[in-house]
Amino acid sequence: MPYLLNSGSGPLAGWPLALAHRGGEPGPENTELALRRAVELGFRYIEIDLRTTADGVLVLFHDAVLDRATGSTGTISSMTWDELAQVTVRGSDGTECSLLRFEDALQLFPDTHFNVDLKEDAAVEPFCAAVERFGAHDRVLAASFDHARRRRTRRLMGPRTASSADRRLAWLLVLLGPFGRAARLFRGVREIDCVQVPARHRRLRVVRPAFVRRCHRAGLQVHVWTVNDPEEMTRLLDMGVDGLVTDNVEALADVMRTRGHWPQSAAGAPSP
């Protein structure tokens, strides 16, 4: 899969991937400022969330409502892009930045790969149209916790665009794997390229060595979210996971650097 640069023969071949969650903290999440900082730090992969405005524009935003991340109120779906263009997102460091359209993110960061969480059904068609318009099939992975939404995206995009398992498929792999059914289950699901799961779910440790081995036998990469502790990052990388998603971008960059896997973006590479 071209999206997964660690699976090919290029400079990231065999490397675990580092993914900045919403661009990483402490800046304003899902904004140009956050994305630019992550790229300059050395990240090639950024996790983003997409929602749709009242006039059909895709914007990077996690919540359905504006309140938590901005000083404004209201829902994304009830406002036009012209209205939302006046809204600013606030980071924990006090910085502010305007909302960002998906098409602008694709153009501003042409070498960046986006792990796209489609937060609502209305985002599916505009997302597929944007990927087609910009020829970005190799730079996006379509993700959604919702099974029907992920399948619909896959039907529209076809096999050129990477996809991760939705919540239902991921839990089937976790729960059925110990009984020897996981490989048979996923052998027929050729539309899945990776499994993205938390390291733990409540008291259950999801990512164990046996789980990683089962996924690899089924031809699936394992990406773990959202890992912010350096010791946990190291433990999971030693286990053989293929990617880590983090808010703590500085810490993950340091951990990857000590293992010789940094930087991963051309923009973050040191000058000769």
Contact by Cβ (8 Å): 65, 263: no
* Model confidence, pTM: 0.94
What pLDDT shows up at residue 156? 95
- Amino acid letter at 264? Q
Active site residue 261: no
Mean pLDDT to the nearest integer, 66-82: 97
- Which residue out of 21, 113, 223, 261 is catalytically annotated? 21
Q: Residue 272: which pLDDT band, with cuts at 50, 70 and 90?
A: very low
pLDDT tens-digit profile of 165-218?
A: 988 888 877 776 665 555 555 544 567 899 999 999 888 899 999 999 989 988
What contacts 26, CB < 8 A, 6 or more positions away? 91, 92, 93
Task: List, in sequence order, every residue forming a beta bridge with 60; answer none if it has no partner.
Answer: 50
Active site residue 21: yes
Residues 30 and 226: their CA atoms lie apart, in Å, by 15
